Amino acid sequence: MADKKEKKEFKAGLYSVVSGIIIAVILVALTIFAFTTRYTAFSPDKVAQSYTDGIVQTGDGYNAYKTTLVSKNPKIKYGDFIRRAYMVCYVNDGEDVKQADFVGTGNDKEQESIDKVYSAMYDYYVELMGTYGWDDYDSMFSKYFEKLVQVRHEVYGDDYMDTEFMFGALEANVQTYSESLTGTDRVFASDNKTVLVEETEGAYQKMFGEEQEVEAEALVEGKKKTVTETKKVYKLTTTVTETKEYSDKEVEEYVKAYKERITPVSEMGKAKVEQFGLKDDAADEMTSAFEGLNHADEITGVAEVTCEVKDQKDNVVATQTVFVVQIGNSWYVDNTSTQTTALYLAK
């Protein structure tokens, strides 16, 4: 995992610019994801490879769930599942809940408060990754948002909570964690002379990197210029080495085991509704979100795919078995039986 002792510092006043960059990166990533998954979903090999590669490249188990059965529910998207299953119990964005006076002003106080929340939650995110990991998404989401409510109150002095704030904090932390592995390039402001984000060396550069001369943007005599620098460069490649498609009898046995695994999970919504004292629409949303996780009656095929991850020296750095199931014409990763611990290389 990323070094838990390493503190990520957020520059007050730069949040609005940097957050804009993060949002742009996320939007581009989602566009690429939507385009590529349209074609990979019909192949068990490509689904498994995409899932494995997505996690190993950036440690991003959060977004990896977009190719799993968690996102299969035809009535709600992945983000809406998160909102219904884990956010609705905290959201209170009505007019009767007063926010801190500085919210929405864009002043230094607001920027500093956002930075403090993101920084504190990043430390906790790394802690959760080390304790649970994204294979246990229920613990990750439940504990993360519970902590976020506490941190918001401590920093802002209010009890306001909405989904935009919750997604913003989580996705910023996911992005920061990814950058702790991959490293970052320098980011310049539009004036081409102000460095917004300094270049950093990630865990993967330290683990796998080999020094090479590469072109990079740097500040030279007060202006941004393209220069040649010596940097540690690495490359991780994921390939499918074996695919076993199950027979009808094996599929039947697999579905039976899957049903035993998923039934307790799909019934968790009722207990959570009672725990939080939810009623009416909020209770219905949470209950239905968890019930929608059960796809036992829809699975018609199963494949067991082995993926291998190599570095630029052709060394095998991880081997992953991915179980994918077929529903209709599409394949999905069965996250209830696929354990991805081996893909978090910097642990």
- Contacts of 293 by beta carbon, 8 Å cutoff, 6+ apart: 69, 70, 73, 262, 265, 266
Residues 25 and 134 in one domain: yes
Domain presence at residue 208? no
Domain count, the chain: 2
Domain presence at residue 164? yes
Where are the extended beta strands (E) located within the chain? 187-188, 195-197, 210-220, 223-233, 237-245, 301-310, 316-327, 330-333
User: From the CB of residue 135, how many other CB atoms can be counted at a distance below 10 Å?
Assistant: 15
Task: Please state which of the ranges 106-110, 187-191, 244-248, 340-344 shows the lowest mean pLDDT.
Answer: 187-191
Task: Please say whether the beta carbons of 332 and 68 come within 8 A.
Answer: yes
| 308 CA to centre of own chain | 22
Give the tens place of pLDDT for each residue, 74-102. 888 999 999 999 999 999 977 789 999 99
Say how far apart CA 159 and CA 91 lie, in whole Å: 10
pLDDT of residue 13: 47
Cross-strand pairs, 187: 197
Q: CA 193 → CA 3, 17, 21, 216, 308, distances in Å?
A: 31, 15, 17, 15, 43
Domain presence at residue 175? yes
Task: Please say whether the beta carbons of 326 and 301 come within 8 A.
Answer: yes
Give the tens place of pLDDT for each residue, 62-81. 999 999 999 998 888 999 99
Q: Which domain holds residue 33?
A: 15-180
Residues 176 and 36 in one domain: yes
Band of residue 140 on the pLDDT scale cut at 50, 70, 90: very high
Say if residue 21's pLDDT is above 80.
Answer: no
Residues 42 and 143 in one domain: yes
Domain presence at residue 143? yes
Residues 263 and 161 in one domain: no
Q: How far apart are the first and last CA of the chain?
A: 3
Say if residue 159's pLDDT is above 50.
Answer: yes
Say how far apart CA 310 and CA 19 lie, in whole Å: 33
> What are the residue ranges of helices labelled H in 137-162?
137-156
Say how far apart CA 23 and CA 26 lie, in whole Å: 5
Domain presence at residue 166? yes
Tokens of 194: 């102000």
